Chain A
């Protein structure tokens, strides 16, 4: 089932540093990785979600010795990975609906628990992940997600956050940032793009459920992402991981800028990378040198209306203020001279 890994897939900076000792190398750098989301799928060039999903599921597969089942929400990830009669998934995988991946995950976990009890085991050796995009997570699937959290069901839920409904043609979700152009937040009127003061922070809402583990990560930092998946899989109960995955199509960005954008989102402070356990934030990824939000916004056509002669510098200033607030709120600035 496993494909041989070609050299170009493993020899880059983004998929693992070959200069590291073997035990510190990423899962992606290993030819023995599961390649859970096999090549041949229909994702766009430079798709952050496809990359993120392979990173996460491969890491979860390694952490569980391949004893893993996935529930998947409707969305790009589902559509591009399973066009009938083909599938890219190398693990047992179930797609039910757009808004119920978390509940389907709960059901799988419940069934596995009973099966384990019948086999005389304390708990199942088979583990469960549920995954979806931000629309399937922060909007339509939010009720099921919150239910799975409060019951502390033994599921790791992964949200691949590309800040909008990309599969349906780039509409606004509650994860779409202010000022961003989408098909339903047009760059028109006095406040072009998505409005300020709307949207929700699901990682913090997850923290408020006081579940065992919540983390954010980006596709730009593979070591960090894999470590968080591994940590999540070492724990039981409800866990939540939100991975920032740029969307070249929806954001109007170059395919080659996916990793760069994900890194800039963290380095500007717009996407705080942190971990929380049982309701307390336990770690943040520090920013060594804060990057002005301009550098991040300019690479994306969804923010093009903010720049140029008819631009909106005051809006850029508001976005910068959001980044500054995150840096302060999460304590993202590295101490001078610290590593």
Chain B
């Protein structure tokens, strides 16, 4: 059914169609509307039987999810930013135990300074935790990926994170095609756990493992993620059969066939990039965009194949490894080993900084001319950065950084200019 709805509400309804049995909720912006929507469906009896637990922290949310998933219940939770970091120990535990929990991460920056707006720092901090990470470009895809996520998680006995841009997607009202229950039931079979806590057949789960087998247990997690690389496109194809539209898969290219320059990105910014690329194509520039829809497992072969024939790659990412540069770029570079391609990293949109077409056009034109620096921060205000560096050079007790910068902006805002 076609409807106009908020991204969070669409995800809540899609998750409900997957018949989750236990949902843990702890509020953190910008994911709150999702669990609120699910809570209303449970409280109103539309989603039943289902236990909706208002827990006291994200750490508890993931811990409750571990208990319920290990007892054979289809389990869902959602978080973002600080919440994801607060649950990290349990996030690793869930994947280590092989529990197919599905979690939405409504991508948001990590403090300090505290910031509620969108970037990918939260999910990227967990790229090595053993969860599958899928990134949604639109609300329709976010909705669709959740339905695929339960199937993928349960088949692989692995938890799946569905990452969607906070506010940009979660709070945006868009038209979506909401599937009906019969379609979802046809696509997603009931959960058959590989391991379950059952008095009829008692097992111990979570035993201590020493050096004699720990490496093998970790390797098996890698082997399974490698298997997921095959399964994810198949599930996307099965999804297309039932629902009649494309969603998911490993990567998606836009105008990359003859592209000399390919921009690699994740999430909702891909839409903005497509329009930017249309503009540049109209100017005769051979440029395209590659959307990484599955970041873990990293689709090395698919990325490599997509980039093999281009001359340069610009990774545009909403994440940043302090002291290094790009995070996505590092993985993309691995896929580019021994193919002669120039690589650029553009860090953009941190803490919700708008990524405008004008700014994109500016950096991409520089890239096409090979005049872009290897590491560029889109629209970084060098004035306030240099101002503060000068302040620190001049005196010792300069005080808190963020507060200084805000004061500087307040004083110099009218004359501030954005630069590439």
Contacts and interface: CB of A to CB of B under 8 A. Distances in A.
Nearest to B212: A84
Interface of A: 1, 66-69, 71-72, 78-79, 82-85, 87, 89-97, 99-100, 103-115, 117-118, 126, 143-144, 146-147, 150-151, 153
A114 B53 contact: no
B72 A111 contact: yes
A79 B208 contact: yes
A144 B59 CA distance: 8
B71 interface: yes
Closest 8 CB pairs of A and B: A107-B67, A95-B206, A103-B63, A147-B56, A100-B63, A111-B71, A111-B73, A104-B67
18 contacts: A69-B71, A69-B199, A78-B208, A83-B210, A84-B208, A84-B210, A93-B203, A100-B59, A103-B60, A106-B60, A107-B53, A107-B71, A108-B71, A114-B49, A115-B72, A143-B56, A144-B56, A144-B57
Given A83-B208, A143-B56, A144-B56, A107 B97 contact: no
B204 A87 contact: yes
A68 B59 CA distance: 25
A95 B208 CA distance: 9
A89 B93 contact: no
B70 interface: yes
B53 A87 contact: no
Nearest to A83: B208
Interface of B: 21-22, 24, 48-51, 53-57, 59-60, 63-73, 75, 89-90, 93, 97, 197-199, 201-210, 212-213
Contacts of A103: 55, 59-60, 63-64, 67
B199 A143 contact: no
A1 B210 CA distance: 25
A105 B199 contact: no
B64 A110 contact: yes
Given A68-B199, A107-B53, A115-B21, 15 more contacts: A72-B206, A83-B208, A84-B210, A94-B205, A96-B63, A97-B89, A100-B90, A103-B63, A104-B70, A106-B64, A108-B67, A108-B68, A110-B64, A144-B59, A144-B60
Tell me which of A68, A97, A105 has the highest count of chain B C-beta atoms within 10 A of its own C-beta.
A97
Contacts of B213: 84-85
Contacts of B22: 107, 110-111, 114
A88 B357 CA distance: 63
A82 B67 CA distance: 18
A50 to B, nearest CB: 16
Contacts of A89: 202, 204
Nearest to A65: B199
A184 B63 CA distance: 29
B69 A107 contact: yes
Tell me which of A66, A79, A111, A115 has the highest count of chain B C-beta atoms within 10 A of its own C-beta.
A111
Given A114-B21, A143-B56, A147-B60, A84 B207 contact: yes
A126 B49 contact: no
Contacts of B67: 71, 94, 96, 103-111
A106 B51 CA distance: 11
A107 B66 contact: yes
B63 A97 contact: yes
A96 B199 contact: no
Contacts of A111: 21-22, 51, 67-69, 71-73, 75
B197 A96 contact: no
A147 B57 contact: yes
B195 to A, nearest CB: 10
Contacts of B204: 82, 87, 89, 92-95
A339 to B, nearest CB: 40
Contact of A83 (B56, B65, B71, B207): B207
A91 B71 contact: no
Contacts of B199: 66-69, 91-92, 126
Nearest to A125: B199
Nearest to B59: A100
Tell me which of B24, B49, B55, B75 has the highest count of chain A C-beta atoms within 10 A of its own C-beta.
B55
A72 to B, nearest CB: 8
Nearest to A113: B51
Tell me which of B48, B97, B202 has the highest count of chain A C-beta atoms within 10 A of its own C-beta.
B202
Contacts of B212: 84
